[in-house]
Amino acid sequence: MTFVLAAVIVAITLAITFWASRRNTSASDFYVAGGRISATQNGIAIAGDYMSAASFLGITGLIALNGYDGFMYSVGWFIAYLTVLFIVAEPLRNLGKYTLADMLVYRLQDPRVRTYAAISTIVVSAFYMIAQVVGAGSLISLLSGGVLGASVAIPLVGVLMIIYVVVGGMLATTWVQIVKAVLLMFATIIMTVLILNRFGWSFSNLLGQVEARNGAEFLGAGVKYKNPVDLISLGLALVLGTAGLPHILVRFYTVPTAQDARKSVVWAMVLIGAFYVMTAFMGNAANVLVGKETITTANAAGNMAAPLLAQALFGGAGTAGGEFGLAFVSAVAFATILAVVAGLTIAASTSFTHDIYKGVIRKGQASEREEFRVARLATIGVGVIAIGLGLLAQTQNVAFLVALAFAIAASSNLPVILFTLFWRRFNATGAIWGIVGGILTCLALIAVSPNIRGIDPPEKTTGRHPVQAAPLFPYENPGIVSIPAGFAFAALGTLLGAARRREGADQDFDEMQFRAYTGAGTDGTVAAHD
C-alpha cells in the first residue's frame, strides 16, 4: 500500500512537471519561473522548501529520543525567518538578480567574486542535500522491511529529482513544493488532532505520560546537549544560517515585486510556525505511543519516529488503519524529500551554470539556448554528487546534518550579504576572504569536532565515529566560532584590499543602496543579466 500511495504522489508531481515543461522556454523560466509566481504561491513554496525531511522526520525523532532539546531546533528554525524577513528578503528582491554572485558582482564590479560565491552556494546546497537523501534512504529501507537498502533508495530519489528539475525547471519545482507543503500540513494536522484526542485534548497529559516513561528530566533541557555552549552554537547557526541559504534566497527572485517577497515570507512564517508547534506534539507522542526502543530499532538516529507514530495513531502495526497511516505519512515524507532536493538542485545548478559556466568560463558570452542546455547538464551532475555524498552519511540524524549546512551558510554567505548591503567600504577582497575563510573555518572545525572524532565504547556498533580519537573542537555545531570568524575574515579582507580600491566604488555602493531600498530599476520582472 505504501508503494501505491507513494507512486500516486510521484505520478501527480511528474504530471505537474510535464505540464510545466511546456511553459519553460527560456533560461529565466528555468531559474526563477520567469518571476511570475504569486506571493501566496511563493510563500507556500518557501514553506514547502523549508519543512524538509529534516524538520518532519528529524525533529520528530529528536524530540521522541531526547525530549525538550529536540524542540529547540523547531524554535530556532522558525525564528530564523525573522532574519530573512527583516534583513535580506526585500533588498535582495529589489536588486533583481538571479543569484548571490550576481548581487556581489553588481555591487563590487569584480568578476573574481563570482566564482567564490558560486562555490559557496554549491557547498551549502550539497551539505543540505546530503541530509535529504539520507532521510529518503532510511524511509525507503524501513518501508520495504529492509529489502531495499539506502544504496537503492538514494539513487531512486536522485533520479526522480533530476527529472523534476531538468524537465520542469523552477515552475514545476515550485508547484511540486506547493503540493507537498499542503500534503505535509494536512498529515501533520491530522496526526496532531489524533494525538490530542488520545491524550484528552491536553498537552499537559501528554507530557505527564512522557514523564512517567522517561523521568522528569525529559521535560526540561539537557538530555542531548549537556554543554550550554553547544546549545548557543546551534542556535546561532539556525537563526543566522537561514538568511544565507541559496535555495531560500533564489525564492525571492521568483516573485514579481519586493512587496511580494515580503508577503511570501510572512505566509511562510504562518505555515512554518504552525508546523513547528505541532512537532512538540508529534515528538512527545511518538515517545509515548511508539517508544524509544522501536524508534531506534527502525533507525538509530530517530528518523522513522513520524511514520511509526502515524502507524500507532491509526490503529497500530498489523491493522489496516495502521498500515494506511504508515503508508500515507511515509509517502508524504517521500514527496517532501523529492521537493526539497529539487529546490536545492535548482539553486546549485543555477549557480554553476549562470555564475561559473556563463559568467566565468564563457565570460558572459553563452547564448540562452546554450545556457539552458548547460543548466540541465549541471542538474544531472549535481544530482549524481548528492547521491554519492548521501551514501557516505547514511547513519546520521537528518536534522543534525542540516544544522551543519546552516552553520556553513551563516559563516560564509551571511557576512558577505550583510556587508554588501550595508558597508560602504566593503570590497572584493573582503568578499573573497569572507567566503573562503567562513567555509574553511567551518569545515575544519567540523572535521575535528565530535561529529567526526570521538572514542566509542567497544560494545557500540552503530554511529561509530569515523576517527577514533579525542575531538579537538568540543562542540557539535561550529557556529559559535565559525560565524564570528566569517565576519572577521570579511572585515580583514576588506581592510587589506582597501589600498587597491577601485575608482567609482562609492558610486556603485550608492547606486546599489538606492535600488536595494527603493526597488528602482526593477520593473516587475527579473531583469536580464547585466
Partner 1 sequence: MTVSRIQPGSPPLRNVAYQRLVAERNRFTVVMTLTFLVLYFLLPILAGYNKPLMATKVFGNVTFGYVFAFLEFVVGWVMAAIYVVRARAFDRLAAEAQQ
Among 1, 12, 14, 75, binds partner 1 (CB under 8 A): 75
CB of 96 to partner 1, least distance (A): 7
One DSSP character per residue, 207-267 reads HHHHHHHH-GGGGSS-SS--SHHHHHHHHHHHHHHGGG-HHHHGGGGSSSSHHHHHHHHHH
User: Is the sign of the CA dihedral 306, 130, 134, 406 positive or negative?
Assistant: negative
256 binds partner 1 (CB under 8 A): no
For position 199 contacting partner 1 by CB under 8 A, the verdict is: no
Query: Judged by CB under 8 A, which of 211, 323, 368, 370 binds partner 1?
Result: 211
Interaction between residue 175 and partner 1 (CB under 8 A)? no
Asked if 234 interacts with partner 1 (CB under 8 A), we say: yes
Per the structure block, which three cell numbers stand in for 137?
A: 534512504
User: According to CB under 8 A, which one of 129, 231, 312, 382 is a site residue for partner 1?
Assistant: 231
CB 153 within 8 A of CB 139: yes
- For partner 1, the closer of residues 81 and 334 by Cβ is 81
Is 303 within 8 Å of 401 (Cβ atoms)?
no
> Nearer to partner 1 by C-beta: 205 or 319?
205
Q: Does position 281 bind partner 1 by CB under 8 A?
A: no
- Judged by CB under 8 A, the residue of 123, 134, 250, 280 near partner 1 is 280
Q: By CB under 8 A, tell whether 498 contacts partner 1.
A: no
Q: Are 404 and 446 in contact (CB under 8 A)?
A: yes
Q: Does 8 bind partner 1 (CB under 8 A)?
A: no
We find the least distance from the C-beta atom of residue 507 to partner 1, in angstroms, to be 6
Among 208, 381, 450, 484, binds partner 1 (CB under 8 A): 208
76 is a contact residue toward partner 1 (CB under 8 A): yes
How many residues make contact with partner 1 (CB under 8 A)? 67
Q: Do residues 180 and 343 make contact, with C-beta atoms less than 8 angstroms apart?
A: no
113 grid coordinates: 567574486
In the complex with partner 1, which residue's Cβ is closer, 19 or 203?
203
Site for partner 1 in 359-388 (CB under 8 A): none
Q: Which of residues 441-480 bind partner 1 (CB under 8 A)?
A: none
Residue 424 backbone phi and psi in degrees, to 5: -60, -40
What does the DSSP assignment read for 452-503? TB----TT--SS--SB-S--SS--SSTHHHHHHHHHHHHHHHHHHHGGGPPT
315 and 197 Cβ atoms separated by less than 8 Å: no
For 505, the grid coordinates are: 566604488
Site string for partner 1, 383-422 (x = CB under 8 A): ---------------------------------------x
d(CA 255, CA 94): 11
| Lookup: cell for 144 | 520495504
Contact 199, 206 (CB under 8 A): yes
Indicate the residue among 197 and 259 with the shorter CB distance to partner 1: 259
List the one residue out of 523, 128, 519, 501 whose CA is nearest residue 348: 128
Interface residue with partner 1 among 21, 144, 513, 525 (CB under 8 A) is 513
Q: Which stretch binds partner 1 (CB under 8 A): 11-19, 32-40, 124-132, 258-266?
A: 258-266
Residues near partner 1 (CB under 8 A): 68-69, 71-72, 74-76, 78-79, 81-83, 85-87, 90, 96, 202-205, 207-208, 211, 216-217, 219-222, 225, 227-232, 234-235, 239, 259, 262-263, 265-266, 269-270, 273, 276-277, 280, 422, 506-507, 510-511, 513-514, 517-521, 527-530
